A and B are shown apart, each in its own frame.
Chain A
Amino acid sequence: MEFGPYLMLAALEGAVTAAVLALMAAGLSLVFGVMRVVNVAHGEFYMLGAVLAFVVAGMAGGGALGFVAALVAVPLIVGALAVAADVTVLKRVGYDPERTIVATIGILYILQQVTLMGYGPDARPVAAPFNQRIALPWVEWGAGGPSLYWPWGLSITSYKLFVIGAAVVVLALLWILMTRTRIGLVMRATQLDRETAQAFGIPVERVYALVFGLGAGLAALAGVLIVPIQQAHYLMGGDALLLSFIVVIIGGLGSLPGTLIAALLIGLSDGILSVFFSPTLAKIVATLLVALVLVFRPQGLMGKPAR
Protein backbone atom coordinates (compact mmCIF):
# COMPACT_ATOMS: atom_id res chain seq x y z
CA MET A 1 0.00 0.00 0.00
CA GLU A 2 1.17 3.51 -0.69
CA PHE A 3 1.51 6.22 1.90
CA GLY A 4 -1.80 8.00 1.23
CA PRO A 5 -4.16 5.04 1.67
CA TYR A 6 -2.08 3.92 4.62
CA LEU A 7 -2.57 7.26 6.34
CA MET A 8 -6.29 7.17 5.62
CA LEU A 9 -6.58 3.72 7.17
CA ALA A 10 -4.72 4.93 10.27
CA ALA A 11 -6.98 7.97 10.48
CA LEU A 12 -10.11 5.79 10.23
CA GLU A 13 -8.91 3.49 12.99
CA GLY A 14 -8.06 6.61 14.95
CA ALA A 15 -11.58 7.96 14.46
CA VAL A 16 -13.04 4.80 16.03
CA THR A 17 -10.68 5.21 19.00
CA ALA A 18 -11.62 8.88 19.21
CA ALA A 19 -15.34 8.07 19.25
CA VAL A 20 -15.05 5.63 22.15
CA LEU A 21 -12.60 7.90 23.94
CA ALA A 22 -14.87 10.91 23.58
CA LEU A 23 -17.75 9.04 25.25
CA MET A 24 -15.57 7.92 28.11
CA ALA A 25 -13.84 11.25 28.60
CA ALA A 26 -17.17 13.09 28.47
CA GLY A 27 -18.25 11.03 31.48
CA LEU A 28 -15.03 11.76 33.35
CA SER A 29 -15.22 15.44 32.46
CA LEU A 30 -18.85 15.67 33.55
CA VAL A 31 -18.04 14.18 36.95
CA PHE A 32 -15.08 16.48 37.38
CA GLY A 33 -16.95 19.52 36.13
CA VAL A 34 -20.00 19.21 38.34
CA MET A 35 -18.61 17.42 41.40
CA ARG A 36 -15.01 18.72 41.33
CA VAL A 37 -13.67 15.25 42.10
CA VAL A 38 -11.45 12.97 40.05
CA ASN A 39 -12.91 9.51 39.62
CA VAL A 40 -9.98 7.11 39.33
CA ALA A 41 -12.38 4.16 39.06
CA HIS A 42 -13.74 5.53 35.76
CA GLY A 43 -11.70 3.04 33.73
CA GLU A 44 -13.23 0.19 35.70
CA PHE A 45 -16.73 1.32 34.79
CA TYR A 46 -15.63 1.09 31.15
CA MET A 47 -14.21 -2.38 31.83
CA LEU A 48 -17.45 -3.40 33.59
CA GLY A 49 -19.38 -2.17 30.56
CA ALA A 50 -17.38 -4.45 28.30
CA VAL A 51 -17.50 -7.47 30.63
CA LEU A 52 -21.19 -7.09 31.39
CA ALA A 53 -21.86 -6.73 27.65
CA PHE A 54 -20.41 -10.22 27.28
CA VAL A 55 -22.57 -11.53 30.13
CA VAL A 56 -25.81 -9.83 29.08
CA ALA A 57 -25.36 -10.69 25.41
CA GLY A 58 -24.84 -14.31 26.44
CA MET A 59 -27.99 -14.35 28.58
CA ALA A 60 -30.07 -12.77 25.81
CA GLY A 61 -29.02 -15.54 23.44
CA GLY A 62 -26.23 -13.79 21.58
CA GLY A 63 -26.46 -12.41 18.04
CA ALA A 64 -27.88 -9.01 17.20
CA LEU A 65 -30.58 -9.28 19.87
CA GLY A 66 -28.00 -9.98 22.57
CA PHE A 67 -25.95 -6.97 21.53
CA VAL A 68 -28.96 -4.64 21.57
CA ALA A 69 -29.95 -5.97 25.00
CA ALA A 70 -26.43 -5.25 26.25
CA LEU A 71 -26.43 -1.79 24.70
CA VAL A 72 -29.59 -0.87 26.59
CA ALA A 73 -29.18 -2.71 29.87
CA VAL A 74 -25.46 -2.48 30.66
CA PRO A 75 -25.11 1.33 30.96
CA LEU A 76 -28.14 1.30 33.26
CA ILE A 77 -26.69 -1.46 35.46
CA VAL A 78 -23.29 0.22 35.71
CA GLY A 79 -24.89 3.61 36.29
CA ALA A 80 -26.95 2.18 39.15
CA LEU A 81 -23.80 0.61 40.61
CA ALA A 82 -22.02 3.96 40.44
CA VAL A 83 -24.94 5.69 42.17
CA ALA A 84 -24.69 3.09 44.93
CA ALA A 85 -20.93 3.73 45.24
CA ASP A 86 -21.57 7.46 45.40
CA VAL A 87 -24.15 7.18 48.14
CA THR A 88 -22.26 4.66 50.27
CA VAL A 89 -18.71 5.99 49.89
CA LEU A 90 -18.21 9.34 48.18
CA LYS A 91 -21.03 11.11 49.97
CA ARG A 92 -19.62 9.98 53.30
CA VAL A 93 -16.12 11.36 52.62
CA GLY A 94 -17.82 14.66 51.81
CA TYR A 95 -16.45 14.80 48.22
CA ASP A 96 -13.11 15.95 49.61
CA PRO A 97 -10.90 15.91 46.46
CA GLU A 98 -7.95 14.00 47.92
CA ARG A 99 -9.91 11.50 49.98
CA THR A 100 -12.17 10.86 46.99
CA ILE A 101 -9.14 9.91 44.91
CA VAL A 102 -8.00 7.45 47.56
CA ALA A 103 -11.51 6.02 47.92
CA THR A 104 -11.96 5.63 44.16
CA ILE A 105 -8.60 3.87 43.94
CA GLY A 106 -10.08 1.45 46.45
CA ILE A 107 -13.23 1.08 44.34
CA LEU A 108 -11.00 0.50 41.30
CA TYR A 109 -9.31 -2.48 42.95
CA ILE A 110 -12.59 -3.85 44.28
CA LEU A 111 -14.29 -3.75 40.86
CA GLN A 112 -11.24 -5.12 39.07
CA GLN A 113 -10.65 -7.97 41.47
CA VAL A 114 -14.31 -8.94 41.82
CA THR A 115 -14.42 -9.13 38.02
CA LEU A 116 -11.32 -11.33 38.11
CA MET A 117 -13.03 -13.66 40.59
CA GLY A 118 -16.37 -13.78 38.77
CA TYR A 119 -15.39 -13.55 35.12
CA GLY A 120 -11.86 -14.89 35.11
CA PRO A 121 -8.62 -13.72 33.54
CA ASP A 122 -9.59 -14.50 29.91
CA ALA A 123 -10.35 -11.97 27.20
CA ARG A 124 -13.68 -12.71 25.53
CA PRO A 125 -15.39 -11.20 22.49
CA VAL A 126 -18.99 -10.32 21.72
CA ALA A 127 -20.12 -10.77 18.13
CA ALA A 128 -20.93 -7.53 16.34
CA PRO A 129 -24.58 -7.34 15.21
CA PHE A 130 -23.43 -6.54 11.68
CA ASN A 131 -19.95 -6.51 10.31
CA GLN A 132 -19.80 -6.01 6.55
CA ARG A 133 -16.46 -5.04 5.16
CA ILE A 134 -16.65 -1.81 3.16
CA ALA A 135 -13.80 -1.27 0.73
CA LEU A 136 -12.81 2.35 0.30
CA PRO A 137 -11.58 3.97 -2.88
CA TRP A 138 -8.47 6.06 -3.29
CA VAL A 139 -7.70 8.65 -5.94
CA GLU A 140 -4.84 7.90 -8.29
CA TRP A 141 -3.23 10.45 -10.57
CA GLY A 142 -2.58 8.49 -13.71
CA ALA A 143 -1.68 9.57 -17.22
CA GLY A 144 -5.32 10.35 -18.03
CA GLY A 145 -6.02 12.52 -14.97
CA PRO A 146 -7.44 11.41 -11.60
CA SER A 147 -9.16 8.05 -11.36
CA LEU A 148 -10.56 6.01 -8.49
CA TYR A 149 -9.24 2.65 -7.50
CA TRP A 150 -9.71 0.30 -4.53
CA PRO A 151 -6.35 -0.42 -2.87
CA TRP A 152 -6.08 -3.82 -1.22
CA GLY A 153 -6.52 -3.57 2.56
CA LEU A 154 -8.10 -0.12 2.62
CA SER A 155 -11.43 -0.87 4.23
CA ILE A 156 -13.57 -0.32 7.27
CA THR A 157 -16.35 -2.44 8.70
CA SER A 158 -19.91 -1.23 8.94
CA TYR A 159 -19.77 -1.83 12.69
CA LYS A 160 -16.92 0.63 13.11
CA LEU A 161 -18.91 3.25 11.24
CA PHE A 162 -21.83 2.50 13.57
CA VAL A 163 -19.58 3.12 16.60
CA ILE A 164 -18.60 6.52 15.26
CA GLY A 165 -22.23 7.38 14.50
CA ALA A 166 -23.47 6.17 17.88
CA ALA A 167 -20.87 8.25 19.71
CA VAL A 168 -21.88 11.36 17.76
CA VAL A 169 -25.58 10.79 18.57
CA VAL A 170 -24.97 10.14 22.27
CA LEU A 171 -22.72 13.17 22.64
CA ALA A 172 -25.30 15.35 20.88
CA LEU A 173 -27.97 14.05 23.27
CA LEU A 174 -25.69 14.79 26.21
CA TRP A 175 -25.16 18.32 24.95
CA ILE A 176 -28.92 18.82 24.59
CA LEU A 177 -29.42 17.39 28.07
CA MET A 178 -26.91 19.81 29.54
CA THR A 179 -28.00 22.95 27.71
CA ARG A 180 -31.69 22.54 26.88
CA THR A 181 -33.33 20.67 29.75
CA ARG A 182 -34.23 21.47 33.31
CA ILE A 183 -32.05 18.73 34.76
CA GLY A 184 -29.10 20.10 32.77
CA LEU A 185 -29.80 23.55 34.16
CA VAL A 186 -29.78 22.12 37.67
CA MET A 187 -26.46 20.39 36.99
CA ARG A 188 -24.90 23.55 35.65
CA ALA A 189 -26.16 25.52 38.62
CA THR A 190 -24.57 22.98 40.97
CA GLN A 191 -21.34 23.19 38.98
CA LEU A 192 -21.22 26.98 39.24
CA ASP A 193 -21.85 27.28 42.95
CA ARG A 194 -22.76 24.40 45.16
CA GLU A 195 -23.85 26.42 48.21
CA THR A 196 -26.02 28.88 46.32
CA ALA A 197 -27.64 26.03 44.39
CA GLN A 198 -28.47 24.32 47.67
CA ALA A 199 -29.83 27.57 49.07
CA PHE A 200 -32.19 27.75 46.08
CA GLY A 201 -33.56 24.33 46.95
CA ILE A 202 -31.60 22.17 44.52
CA PRO A 203 -31.05 18.72 46.06
CA VAL A 204 -27.28 18.85 45.53
CA GLU A 205 -26.61 15.36 46.85
CA ARG A 206 -29.09 13.81 44.46
CA VAL A 207 -27.62 15.80 41.58
CA TYR A 208 -24.17 14.47 42.52
CA ALA A 209 -25.41 10.88 42.61
CA LEU A 210 -27.11 11.36 39.24
CA VAL A 211 -24.01 12.92 37.67
CA PHE A 212 -21.78 10.16 39.01
CA GLY A 213 -24.16 7.54 37.64
CA LEU A 214 -24.42 9.33 34.28
CA GLY A 215 -20.63 9.56 34.00
CA ALA A 216 -20.23 5.86 34.76
CA GLY A 217 -23.04 5.02 32.33
CA LEU A 218 -21.21 6.85 29.53
CA ALA A 219 -18.03 4.90 30.29
CA ALA A 220 -20.01 1.65 30.31
CA LEU A 221 -21.61 2.55 26.97
CA ALA A 222 -18.13 3.09 25.54
CA GLY A 223 -17.21 -0.34 26.92
CA VAL A 224 -20.20 -2.03 25.26
CA LEU A 225 -19.43 -0.37 21.94
CA ILE A 226 -15.77 -1.42 21.96
CA VAL A 227 -16.34 -5.08 22.87
CA PRO A 228 -17.00 -6.39 19.32
CA ILE A 229 -13.75 -4.70 18.17
CA GLN A 230 -11.58 -5.34 21.20
CA GLN A 231 -12.26 -8.20 23.61
CA ALA A 232 -13.45 -7.77 27.19
CA HIS A 233 -10.70 -8.28 29.77
CA TYR A 234 -10.58 -7.43 33.46
CA LEU A 235 -7.46 -5.25 33.11
CA MET A 236 -8.66 -3.18 30.12
CA GLY A 237 -9.65 -0.22 32.31
CA GLY A 238 -6.12 1.01 33.05
CA ASP A 239 -5.06 2.15 29.59
CA ALA A 240 -8.52 3.55 28.89
CA LEU A 241 -8.40 5.57 32.10
CA LEU A 242 -5.00 6.98 31.24
CA LEU A 243 -6.12 7.99 27.74
CA SER A 244 -9.31 9.63 28.97
CA PHE A 245 -7.34 11.49 31.64
CA ILE A 246 -5.10 12.76 28.87
CA VAL A 247 -8.13 13.84 26.83
CA VAL A 248 -9.84 15.57 29.74
CA ILE A 249 -6.68 17.41 30.77
CA ILE A 250 -5.72 18.51 27.27
CA GLY A 251 -9.30 19.63 26.65
CA GLY A 252 -9.49 21.54 29.91
CA LEU A 253 -10.99 19.94 33.00
CA GLY A 254 -14.77 20.19 32.92
CA SER A 255 -15.14 21.66 29.43
CA LEU A 256 -17.28 19.42 27.21
CA PRO A 257 -16.40 20.92 23.80
CA GLY A 258 -12.72 20.93 24.77
CA THR A 259 -12.99 17.26 25.72
CA LEU A 260 -14.48 16.46 22.33
CA ILE A 261 -11.77 18.26 20.37
CA ALA A 262 -9.07 16.66 22.52
CA ALA A 263 -10.59 13.20 22.00
CA LEU A 264 -10.42 13.68 18.25
CA LEU A 265 -6.86 14.97 18.50
CA ILE A 266 -5.66 12.16 20.77
CA GLY A 267 -7.63 9.41 19.02
CA LEU A 268 -6.39 10.38 15.57
CA SER A 269 -2.81 10.96 16.62
CA ASP A 270 -2.83 7.71 18.62
CA GLY A 271 -4.05 5.84 15.54
CA ILE A 272 -1.51 7.51 13.26
CA LEU A 273 1.43 7.47 15.70
CA SER A 274 1.05 3.82 16.62
CA VAL A 275 0.98 2.88 12.93
CA PHE A 276 4.29 4.64 12.27
CA PHE A 277 6.11 4.48 15.62
CA SER A 278 6.53 2.04 18.48
CA PRO A 279 3.33 2.17 20.58
CA THR A 280 5.35 2.35 23.80
CA LEU A 281 7.28 5.38 22.60
CA ALA A 282 4.03 7.02 21.45
CA LYS A 283 2.56 6.44 24.91
CA ILE A 284 5.62 7.87 26.68
CA VAL A 285 5.51 11.01 24.55
CA ALA A 286 1.76 11.43 25.10
CA THR A 287 2.05 10.89 28.87
CA LEU A 288 4.90 13.36 29.25
CA LEU A 289 3.13 15.92 27.08
CA VAL A 290 0.06 15.74 29.27
CA ALA A 291 2.11 16.10 32.45
CA LEU A 292 3.78 19.16 30.98
CA VAL A 293 0.46 20.65 29.85
CA LEU A 294 -0.76 20.30 33.43
CA VAL A 295 2.42 21.90 34.75
CA PHE A 296 2.59 24.86 32.39
CA ARG A 297 -1.03 25.32 31.32
CA PRO A 298 -3.17 23.84 34.10
CA GLN A 299 -6.43 25.09 32.61
CA GLY A 300 -5.89 22.89 29.53
CA LEU A 301 -6.11 24.04 25.94
CA MET A 302 -9.76 25.07 26.01
CA GLY A 303 -10.51 25.52 29.69
CA LYS A 304 -10.85 28.88 31.39
CA PRO A 305 -8.14 29.96 33.86
CA ALA A 306 -8.94 29.21 37.47
CA ARG A 307 -10.63 32.07 39.30
Chain B
Amino acid sequence: MNARILALHGGLLALLLALHFVLPVYHHGNLARVMVLACYAIGYNLLFGYTGLLSLGHAMFFAAGMYGMGMPLYHLGLGAELAFLAGIAAAGGLALVVGLLALRTVGVAFMIVTLMFSQAFYLAILLAARWTRGDEGLVLAGADRVLFGLDLTDPDIRYLLALGLFALCLSAALWLVRRPFGRVLVAIRENPERAELLGYDIFRHKLAAVVLSGMFSGAAGAAYGLMFGYVGASFAEVHFSIFPLLWVLLGGAGTVIGPFFGVLFMFYLIDISSGLTPAYMLVAGVALVLLTLFAPQGLVGEVRRRWLRWLP
Protein backbone atom coordinates (compact mmCIF):
# COMPACT_ATOMS: atom_id res chain seq x y z
CA MET B 1 0.00 0.00 0.00
CA ASN B 2 1.06 3.49 -0.89
CA ALA B 3 2.94 5.38 1.86
CA ARG B 4 1.08 8.69 1.52
CA ILE B 5 -2.29 6.93 1.69
CA LEU B 6 -1.20 5.23 4.91
CA ALA B 7 0.15 8.51 6.25
CA LEU B 8 -3.10 10.37 5.50
CA HIS B 9 -5.46 7.85 7.08
CA GLY B 10 -3.11 6.99 9.94
CA GLY B 11 -2.61 10.69 10.50
CA LEU B 12 -6.37 11.29 10.77
CA LEU B 13 -6.66 8.52 13.38
CA ALA B 14 -3.63 9.84 15.31
CA LEU B 15 -5.14 13.33 15.27
CA LEU B 16 -8.42 11.99 16.64
CA LEU B 17 -6.49 10.19 19.39
CA ALA B 18 -4.60 13.38 20.25
CA LEU B 19 -7.88 15.33 20.37
CA HIS B 20 -9.06 12.96 23.09
CA PHE B 21 -6.65 14.61 25.52
CA VAL B 22 -7.27 18.24 24.64
CA LEU B 23 -10.93 18.66 23.66
CA PRO B 24 -13.39 20.28 26.07
CA VAL B 25 -16.09 17.95 27.43
CA TYR B 26 -18.89 19.06 25.09
CA HIS B 27 -16.92 18.66 21.87
CA HIS B 28 -15.31 15.48 23.17
CA GLY B 29 -18.79 13.92 23.46
CA ASN B 30 -19.81 15.24 20.06
CA LEU B 31 -16.78 13.81 18.35
CA ALA B 32 -17.49 10.36 19.81
CA ARG B 33 -20.95 10.52 18.25
CA VAL B 34 -19.52 11.79 14.97
CA MET B 35 -17.10 8.87 14.78
CA VAL B 36 -19.83 6.28 15.29
CA LEU B 37 -22.06 7.97 12.72
CA ALA B 38 -19.09 8.14 10.36
CA CYS B 39 -19.03 4.32 10.40
CA TYR B 40 -22.64 4.44 9.20
CA ALA B 41 -21.63 6.90 6.48
CA ILE B 42 -18.68 4.72 5.45
CA GLY B 43 -21.05 1.80 5.04
CA TYR B 44 -23.42 3.92 3.00
CA ASN B 45 -20.58 5.21 0.87
CA LEU B 46 -19.50 1.68 0.02
CA LEU B 47 -22.84 1.19 -1.73
CA PHE B 48 -23.52 4.69 -3.01
CA GLY B 49 -20.06 6.08 -3.64
CA TYR B 50 -18.32 2.98 -4.93
CA THR B 51 -21.05 0.77 -6.37
CA GLY B 52 -23.25 3.63 -7.56
CA LEU B 53 -26.44 2.29 -5.93
CA LEU B 54 -28.46 5.05 -4.28
CA SER B 55 -30.45 3.60 -1.38
CA LEU B 56 -33.09 5.67 0.38
CA GLY B 57 -33.65 3.05 3.07
CA HIS B 58 -30.42 2.62 4.97
CA ALA B 59 -32.05 3.57 8.25
CA MET B 60 -33.47 0.04 8.34
CA PHE B 61 -29.95 -1.42 8.50
CA PHE B 62 -28.85 1.06 11.16
CA ALA B 63 -32.00 0.31 13.14
CA ALA B 64 -31.66 -3.45 12.56
CA GLY B 65 -28.21 -3.27 14.11
CA MET B 66 -29.54 -1.21 16.96
CA TYR B 67 -32.57 -3.39 17.72
CA GLY B 68 -30.67 -6.60 16.94
CA MET B 69 -28.29 -5.54 19.69
CA GLY B 70 -30.81 -3.91 22.05
CA MET B 71 -33.62 -6.48 22.13
CA PRO B 72 -31.54 -9.52 23.19
CA LEU B 73 -29.69 -7.32 25.68
CA TYR B 74 -32.89 -5.89 27.13
CA HIS B 75 -35.16 -8.94 27.07
CA LEU B 76 -32.81 -11.92 27.21
CA GLY B 77 -29.97 -10.44 29.24
CA LEU B 78 -27.41 -11.33 26.57
CA GLY B 79 -23.92 -9.92 27.21
CA ALA B 80 -22.99 -6.71 25.42
CA GLU B 81 -20.28 -8.42 23.33
CA LEU B 82 -22.65 -11.07 21.93
CA ALA B 83 -25.46 -8.55 21.58
CA PHE B 84 -23.20 -6.33 19.48
CA LEU B 85 -22.44 -9.26 17.16
CA ALA B 86 -26.15 -10.13 17.06
CA GLY B 87 -26.83 -6.58 15.89
CA ILE B 88 -24.36 -6.87 13.02
CA ALA B 89 -25.76 -10.27 12.08
CA ALA B 90 -29.33 -8.91 12.10
CA ALA B 91 -28.38 -6.04 9.83
CA GLY B 92 -26.43 -8.34 7.51
CA GLY B 93 -29.33 -10.79 7.29
CA LEU B 94 -31.82 -8.02 6.56
CA ALA B 95 -29.47 -6.58 3.94
CA LEU B 96 -29.22 -9.99 2.28
CA VAL B 97 -33.01 -10.32 1.98
CA VAL B 98 -33.52 -6.71 0.88
CA GLY B 99 -30.63 -6.98 -1.55
CA LEU B 100 -31.95 -10.16 -3.15
CA LEU B 101 -35.26 -8.44 -3.83
CA ALA B 102 -34.29 -4.82 -4.45
CA LEU B 103 -31.36 -5.57 -6.75
CA ARG B 104 -33.79 -6.87 -9.34
CA THR B 105 -34.51 -3.19 -9.96
CA VAL B 106 -32.18 -0.36 -10.98
CA GLY B 107 -32.08 3.42 -10.75
CA VAL B 108 -35.18 5.19 -9.53
CA ALA B 109 -37.03 1.94 -8.84
CA PHE B 110 -34.17 0.80 -6.57
CA MET B 111 -34.46 4.00 -4.55
CA ILE B 112 -38.21 3.63 -4.14
CA VAL B 113 -38.04 -0.06 -3.28
CA THR B 114 -35.44 0.55 -0.56
CA LEU B 115 -37.49 3.48 0.71
CA MET B 116 -40.59 1.28 0.91
CA PHE B 117 -38.82 -1.59 2.67
CA SER B 118 -37.37 0.84 5.16
CA GLN B 119 -40.77 2.38 5.80
CA ALA B 120 -42.27 -1.07 6.34
CA PHE B 121 -39.44 -1.88 8.77
CA TYR B 122 -40.10 1.34 10.69
CA LEU B 123 -43.83 0.62 10.88
CA ALA B 124 -43.07 -2.95 11.98
CA ILE B 125 -41.05 -1.56 14.91
CA LEU B 126 -44.06 0.55 15.91
CA LEU B 127 -46.42 -2.39 15.43
CA ALA B 128 -44.33 -4.70 17.66
CA ALA B 129 -44.64 -2.18 20.49
CA ARG B 130 -44.97 -5.03 23.01
CA TRP B 131 -41.29 -5.85 22.56
CA THR B 132 -39.85 -2.65 21.10
CA ARG B 133 -41.96 -0.24 23.18
CA GLY B 134 -42.78 1.64 19.98
CA ASP B 135 -42.08 5.35 19.89
CA GLU B 136 -40.76 5.40 23.43
CA GLY B 137 -37.92 3.01 22.69
CA LEU B 138 -35.78 0.96 25.05
CA VAL B 139 -33.48 2.56 27.57
CA LEU B 140 -30.54 0.27 28.28
CA ALA B 141 -29.43 0.10 31.90
CA GLY B 142 -25.89 1.30 32.63
CA ALA B 143 -25.03 -2.05 34.22
CA ASP B 144 -25.68 -3.85 30.93
CA ARG B 145 -23.49 -1.56 28.90
CA VAL B 146 -20.15 -3.16 29.79
CA LEU B 147 -18.00 -4.36 26.91
CA PHE B 148 -15.08 -6.63 27.90
CA GLY B 149 -15.06 -5.07 31.36
CA LEU B 150 -15.05 -1.54 29.94
CA ASP B 151 -17.85 0.63 31.28
CA LEU B 152 -19.49 2.43 28.36
CA THR B 153 -21.11 5.04 30.59
CA ASP B 154 -17.67 6.57 31.08
CA PRO B 155 -17.13 9.28 28.40
CA ASP B 156 -13.40 8.59 28.07
CA ILE B 157 -13.91 4.89 27.37
CA ARG B 158 -16.77 5.76 25.05
CA TYR B 159 -14.54 8.07 23.02
CA LEU B 160 -11.73 5.57 22.76
CA LEU B 161 -14.08 2.73 21.77
CA ALA B 162 -15.75 4.96 19.18
CA LEU B 163 -12.29 5.74 17.84
CA GLY B 164 -11.46 2.03 17.79
CA LEU B 165 -14.62 1.21 15.84
CA PHE B 166 -14.01 4.09 13.47
CA ALA B 167 -10.42 2.99 12.90
CA LEU B 168 -11.65 -0.52 12.18
CA CYS B 169 -14.31 0.65 9.71
CA LEU B 170 -11.96 3.10 8.02
CA SER B 171 -9.23 0.54 7.50
CA ALA B 172 -11.70 -2.13 6.41
CA ALA B 173 -13.16 0.28 3.84
CA LEU B 174 -9.70 1.30 2.66
CA TRP B 175 -8.67 -2.33 2.33
CA LEU B 176 -11.89 -3.28 0.51
CA VAL B 177 -11.83 -0.54 -2.09
CA ARG B 178 -8.18 -1.13 -2.97
CA ARG B 179 -8.70 -4.84 -3.46
CA PRO B 180 -9.83 -6.26 -6.83
CA PHE B 181 -13.30 -6.55 -5.29
CA GLY B 182 -13.48 -2.79 -4.77
CA ARG B 183 -12.22 -2.14 -8.29
CA VAL B 184 -15.02 -4.27 -9.71
CA LEU B 185 -17.54 -2.25 -7.69
CA VAL B 186 -16.20 0.94 -9.25
CA ALA B 187 -16.36 -0.71 -12.69
CA ILE B 188 -20.02 -1.56 -12.05
CA ARG B 189 -20.68 2.05 -11.03
CA GLU B 190 -19.01 3.43 -14.15
CA ASN B 191 -20.41 1.01 -16.70
CA PRO B 192 -22.40 -2.07 -15.66
CA GLU B 193 -22.69 -3.45 -19.20
CA ARG B 194 -18.95 -3.34 -19.78
CA ALA B 195 -18.22 -4.90 -16.38
CA GLU B 196 -20.59 -7.72 -17.24
CA LEU B 197 -18.98 -8.14 -20.65
CA LEU B 198 -15.61 -8.53 -18.92
CA GLY B 199 -17.04 -11.56 -17.18
CA TYR B 200 -17.82 -10.21 -13.72
CA ASP B 201 -20.97 -11.41 -12.02
CA ILE B 202 -22.58 -8.02 -11.41
CA PHE B 203 -25.46 -9.27 -9.31
CA ARG B 204 -23.23 -11.08 -6.83
CA HIS B 205 -20.89 -8.14 -6.51
CA LYS B 206 -23.79 -5.77 -5.94
CA LEU B 207 -25.33 -8.14 -3.42
CA ALA B 208 -22.02 -8.40 -1.57
CA ALA B 209 -21.83 -4.60 -1.53
CA VAL B 210 -25.37 -4.33 -0.11
CA VAL B 211 -24.65 -6.90 2.61
CA LEU B 212 -21.30 -5.32 3.57
CA SER B 213 -22.85 -1.87 3.56
CA GLY B 214 -25.69 -3.16 5.72
CA MET B 215 -23.23 -4.73 8.19
CA PHE B 216 -21.22 -1.51 8.52
CA SER B 217 -24.47 0.38 9.12
CA GLY B 218 -25.63 -2.27 11.58
CA ALA B 219 -22.33 -2.12 13.47
CA ALA B 220 -22.71 1.64 13.72
CA GLY B 221 -26.32 1.27 14.92
CA ALA B 222 -25.42 -1.36 17.52
CA ALA B 223 -22.50 0.72 18.77
CA TYR B 224 -24.63 3.86 18.93
CA GLY B 225 -27.26 2.06 20.98
CA LEU B 226 -24.68 0.59 23.35
CA MET B 227 -22.74 3.79 23.83
CA PHE B 228 -25.61 6.14 24.41
CA GLY B 229 -27.92 3.63 26.08
CA TYR B 230 -30.98 4.24 23.92
CA VAL B 231 -32.66 2.17 21.22
CA GLY B 232 -35.50 4.09 19.54
CA ALA B 233 -37.78 3.94 16.52
CA SER B 234 -36.75 7.46 15.47
CA PHE B 235 -33.50 5.94 14.16
CA ALA B 236 -35.54 3.98 11.60
CA GLU B 237 -37.36 7.02 10.22
CA VAL B 238 -36.91 8.37 6.71
CA HIS B 239 -34.73 11.21 8.03
CA PHE B 240 -32.18 8.72 9.12
CA SER B 241 -31.97 7.29 5.61
CA ILE B 242 -31.51 10.75 4.15
CA PHE B 243 -28.73 11.70 6.56
CA PRO B 244 -26.08 9.24 5.31
CA LEU B 245 -26.83 10.32 1.75
CA LEU B 246 -26.31 13.90 2.82
CA TRP B 247 -23.11 13.13 4.74
CA VAL B 248 -21.61 11.19 1.87
CA LEU B 249 -22.59 13.77 -0.74
CA LEU B 250 -21.20 16.51 1.44
CA GLY B 251 -17.96 14.73 2.31
CA GLY B 252 -17.38 13.27 -1.11
CA ALA B 253 -18.90 10.11 -2.54
CA GLY B 254 -16.38 7.48 -3.47
CA THR B 255 -13.66 8.68 -1.11
CA VAL B 256 -12.61 6.78 2.02
CA ILE B 257 -12.24 9.73 4.40
CA GLY B 258 -15.03 11.85 2.84
CA PRO B 259 -17.86 10.38 4.93
CA PHE B 260 -16.13 11.35 8.18
CA PHE B 261 -15.79 14.98 7.13
CA GLY B 262 -19.36 14.99 5.85
CA VAL B 263 -20.66 13.83 9.23
CA LEU B 264 -18.44 16.26 11.11
CA PHE B 265 -19.50 19.23 9.01
CA MET B 266 -23.23 18.39 9.07
CA PHE B 267 -23.20 17.59 12.79
CA TYR B 268 -21.87 21.01 13.70
CA LEU B 269 -24.03 22.76 11.11
CA ILE B 270 -27.15 21.25 12.69
CA ASP B 271 -25.78 21.70 16.20
CA ILE B 272 -25.33 25.41 15.65
CA SER B 273 -28.56 25.98 13.72
CA SER B 274 -30.73 24.06 16.20
CA GLY B 275 -29.63 26.63 18.77
CA LEU B 276 -31.11 29.33 16.53
CA THR B 277 -34.36 27.77 15.25
CA PRO B 278 -36.53 24.70 15.84
CA ALA B 279 -36.63 24.26 12.05
CA TYR B 280 -33.05 23.02 11.94
CA MET B 281 -33.78 20.53 9.15
CA LEU B 282 -34.01 23.59 6.92
CA VAL B 283 -30.21 23.59 6.94
CA ALA B 284 -30.18 20.01 5.69
CA GLY B 285 -32.56 20.92 2.89
CA VAL B 286 -30.59 23.95 1.78
CA ALA B 287 -27.36 21.94 1.97
CA LEU B 288 -28.82 19.20 -0.26
CA VAL B 289 -30.01 21.64 -2.91
CA LEU B 290 -26.75 23.60 -2.94
CA LEU B 291 -24.74 20.39 -3.09
CA THR B 292 -26.59 19.00 -6.08
CA LEU B 293 -26.24 22.37 -7.80
CA PHE B 294 -22.68 23.39 -7.09
CA ALA B 295 -20.60 20.57 -5.60
CA PRO B 296 -21.82 17.14 -6.66
CA GLN B 297 -18.34 15.86 -5.76
CA GLY B 298 -18.45 16.95 -2.10
CA LEU B 299 -15.65 18.42 0.04
CA VAL B 300 -13.05 15.68 -0.26
CA GLY B 301 -14.17 14.96 -3.81
CA GLU B 302 -13.35 18.54 -4.78
CA VAL B 303 -9.97 18.30 -3.07
CA ARG B 304 -9.26 15.12 -5.01
CA ARG B 305 -10.36 16.65 -8.30
CA ARG B 306 -8.22 19.74 -7.87
CA TRP B 307 -5.11 18.69 -5.98
CA LEU B 308 -4.80 15.16 -4.69
CA ARG B 309 -5.58 12.84 -7.58
CA TRP B 310 -4.22 9.83 -5.67
CA LEU B 311 -6.86 9.89 -2.89
CA PRO B 312 -8.57 6.49 -2.60
Contacts and interface: CB of A to CB of B under 8 A. Distances in A.
Contacts of A89: 289, 292-293
Contacts of B238: 238
Contact of B111 (A101, A278, A288): A101
Interface string B90-116: 000000000001101101110111001
Chain B residues touching A, majority SS: helix
Contact of A284 (B127, B242, B291): B127
A117 B282 contact: yes
Contacts of A298: 105, 109
Given A98-B107, A294-B109, A105 B242 contact: yes
Interface residues of A, number: 40
A273 interface: no
A103 B294 CA distance: 11
Contacts of A287: 116-117, 119-120, 123
B279 interface: yes
Contacts, number: 116
A268 B285 CA distance: 35
A161 interface: no
Contact of B116 (A106, A114, A116, A290): A290
Contacts of A106: 284-292
Contact of B288 (A38, A103, A116, A249): A103
Contacts of B277: 117
B188 interface: no
B289 A107 contact: yes
Interface of B: 54, 56, 101-102, 104-105, 107-109, 111-113, 116-117, 119-120, 123-124, 126-127, 238, 242, 245, 249, 277-282, 284-293, 296
Interface of A: 38, 89, 92-93, 97-99, 101-103, 105-114, 116-117, 238, 242, 245, 249, 278, 280-281, 283-284, 287-288, 290-292, 294-296, 298
26 contacts: A38-B108, A38-B111, A38-B112, A89-B292, A101-B54, A102-B291, A103-B288, A106-B285, A109-B281, A109-B284, A110-B282, A110-B286, A112-B281, A116-B279, A117-B282, A238-B238, A280-B126, A281-B127, A284-B127, A291-B102, A291-B116, A291-B117, A292-B101, A294-B109, A295-B101, A295-B113
